[in-house]
Amino acid sequence: MVRLLAVPLVAVLAFIAVGGAMSAVAGAPPLRGQMVDVGGRRLHIICEGPVGAEPTVVFEAGAFGFSADWGAVQQMTTQRGWRSCAYDRASMGISDPGPAPRDAMTVTADLERLLKAAGEKGPYVLVGHSMAGLYLPLFAKRYPDQVAGLVLVDATTRQATAAGLQAGFVNRFARASRWAAIGASAGLFKPLTGRFGDRIGLPPAAKAEKGHAFASGAHNRAAYAEIKVWPTSAQQMVDAGPLDPALPVSVVTAGPDLGDRPGRKEMQAAPATNSRFGYYRNVEGAEHRTLLGLEYAGEVVEGIARVRAAPTRTQTASTAAPATGSPES
């Protein structure tokens, strides 16, 4: 019996040793962007495109994600001549650790502080994937003058959260994330980087960054810390109230409606449906991750273009306001 147990144990230890050895020889990819001080700690941000090409597009990644997730989409926005910024939340990617808990209030405050410290002027078009659907609407409610519009990419929404449709998924995801944090910290993920590091379909530089973070214990532990407080973040987002209908919103979703979760697509589309300047597009051939990759990134860019082309809330208000000297003034 001892021999039978020893064989798999030795295999596991060898696997961990290989992961550790590979980690030791494989350094971090070259720095893209810059590290910005936000008050005694630094956050990593990558900004591209001409300064002054407003509104600046700001990317927020989903769970386990960071700036590299947006490599393909950002490449295309740069090609269009738009200014855009992607960043790593605290403790994610190569950003320094930040204050706990890592809930939506903390994340949105960090982002506001980062953009100001980096000298990036608003208002911004905020683009978020997946779990970022908890953060961006709250940012829009907390800092309304800094937001020109939202683009939600296969993201969670206030409607789905309020309906309680995600409770079971969130619990399962949190348990899986805990084991991911343990596995990465033990060096188990490093030998798997080539196969699983990039499941988005990213350009080379972003692909290398994604693979490095995939095997990083610190990155995976930080992701778990965010997912642990998903219910708190969701409640903060719901408590903030609905979005202003005058705020332009694009929603881009992935995959066919299989009917396994009735009403899911409608609730994902709801932020666009409820906007006076809404755009919704479902990309059946894409998956949750690949929607951000080179094959489908153009669909996300089209969603951004729709928001950029929509009237701003200031323009809408000035159009609706009575003329000076009218009987109503």
Task: Tell me which residue range forms the domain holding 257.
Answer: 33-313
Is 27 within a domain? no
Q: What is the CATH number of the domain that holds 66?
A: 3.40.50.1820
Is 18 within a domain? no
pTM over 0.85: yes
Is 318 within a domain? no
Task: Measure Cα distances from 40 to 92, 97, 108, 109, 169 in Å.
Answer: 17, 11, 18, 15, 36
Is 14 within a domain? no
Q: 């990134």: which residue's tokens?
A: 297
Question: If phi over 0 gives left and psi between -120 and 50 gives alpha, with beta otherwise, what is residue 115?
Answer: alpha
Walk along the chain (329 residues) in steps of 10 and give the mean pLDDT of each run: 36 36 57 97 97 94 97 98 98 96 98 98 97 97 98 92 69 89 92 90 97 96 95 94 97 85 84 97 97 98 97 62 34
pLDDT confidence of residue 227: 96
Is 19 within a domain? no
pLDDT confidence of residue 264: 81
pLDDT confidence of residue 165: 56
Is 325 within a domain? no
CB 222, CB 92: distance < 8 Å: yes
Q: How many domains does one find in the chain? A: 1
pLDDT confidence of residue 28: 82
Is 222 within a domain? yes
Is 186 within a domain? yes
